[in-house]
Copies of this chain bind each other. A is one copy, B any other.
Amino acid sequence: MPPIVKTPEPPYYAVIFTSMRTEGDHGYGQMAREMVEMVSKMDGFCGVESLRNSAGYEITISYWTSLEAIKQWKEEPRHLVAQKNGKELWYKMYASRVCRVERDSFFHNS
């Protein structure tokens, strides 16, 4: 995935998901791959920026054209299963923040 997502002109939307994983995999890796594949096909999905470290700390930001698109993804049946497993198996804690991107600026060292 590219390090910096090409997003449309503001306003658009971002979901900031900050999490701390539990120990072990418990099926997370397979589900994460499935979710990446599914989300990339969703209407209104612009892309994702994500990093994690070896301690299980992860930041993932997904970008969307509308709140309606975020709602569709939140309610996608297979994603609902992932959200349930997330609470029961994969995450010690997380924060999910839905944001309206008001303005942005980009720099590329040419």
| Interface set of A (CB-CB < 8 Å, partner B) | 3-5, 7, 14, 16, 18, 20, 22, 49-53, 57-59, 61, 67, 86-87, 91-109
Copies held by the complex: 2
CB proximity of A32 to chain B, nearest CB, Å: 17
Q: List 25 A-B contacts (CB under 8 A).
A: A3-B20, A4-B18, A4-B93, A4-B94, A4-B95, A5-B18, A5-B95, A7-B95, A7-B97, A49-B59, A51-B51, A51-B58, A51-B59, A53-B53, A61-B61, A86-B107, A87-B109, A92-B108, A92-B109, A93-B107, A93-B108, A93-B109, A94-B106, A97-B103, A98-B104
Complexed CA–CA distance, A58 and B87 (Å): 27
Binding site secondary structure of chain A: strand
Given A52-B51, A61-B16, A104 contacting B97 (CB threshold 8 A): yes
| B101 pairs with A97, CB closer than 8 A | yes
| A102 pairs with B100, CB closer than 8 A | yes
